[in-house]
Amino acid sequence: MLLKDKVIVVTGGAGLLGRRFVKAVVDNGGIGIIADINPETGKRCEDELSAELNAKGKVAFFPLDITSKESIQTLIKDVKQKFGKIDGLVNNAYPRNKNYGRSFEDVTYEDFCENLSLHTGGYFLMMQQLGLYFKEQGSGSIINMSSIYGVIPPRFEVYEGVKFTMPVEYAAIKSAIVHLTRYAAKYFKKSGGQGKCHKSRGHIR
């Protein structure tokens, strides 16, 4: 019961990994907030996890677009109204535009910039807005999802014979998130945080 009664917001909570994180929160005694841009999968995920875990009231979907300050502020207000507080954020959403995933030669300047804005920019906005909220509250933790590909170079041989690759945007996005996490950990140390950043998990305290 490591997370007993802790309210944890998981962005992209209706996705492949997000859903597992929400389940882990509830398995450990907490309340899992599925914060996702897709209301259909978000609501379905709430219904399915509530039934699977026999945890009605411990899992809740809230709509969120991590690239909109207004949407983030609405989420904070609505979660606070329903559960009284927010204890943690798992910054996990995976926004990308329709051209995301092309080979290096085919990525346009516009697509490169847009994908970086959506993903790295969205993670920044979540850290900024939740960071302000946690500062006011006096406590809070943030976990940022990077990737092995934010740390090591791609192994292109793994993608031989398949139609997809390891996108260049992903390398730029995920390596930036590792360092943004260090930045935020040091920044919030000034306001009473521990200034700690777990190397592999991107955990700000």
Ligand X SMILES: NC(=O)c1ccc[n+]([C@@H]2O[C@H](COP(=O)([O-])OP(=O)(O)OC[C@H]3O[C@@H](n4cnc5c(N)ncnc54)[C@H](O)[C@@H]3O)[C@@H](O)[C@H]2O)c1
- Residues in touch with ligand X (CB under 6 A): 11-12, 14-18, 36-38, 41, 64-67, 92-95, 122, 145, 147
Q: Is 109 a catalytic residue?
A: no
Q: Which is nearer to ligand X, 123 or 188 (CB)?
A: 123
Instruction: Find the shortest distance in angstroms from Cβ 138 to ligand X.
Output: 27
Find out whether 22 and 32 touch, Cβ atoms under 8 Å: yes
Nearer to ligand X, 92 or 129 (CB): 92
Distance, CA of 170 to CA of 174 (rounded, Å): 6
Nearest distance in Å: CB 137, ligand X: 22
Closest CA to 90 of 153, 37, 11: 11
Question: Which of the residues 159, 170, 183, 187 is marked catalytic?
Answer: 170
**Residue 142, helix vs strand vs coil:** strand
Do 123 and 91 meet the contact criterion of CB atoms below 8 Å apart? yes
Q: Which is nearer to ligand X, 7 or 90 (CB)?
A: 90
**15 phi and psi, to 5 degrees?**
-85, -175
Tokens of 160: 């031989």
> What residues are labeled active site?
170
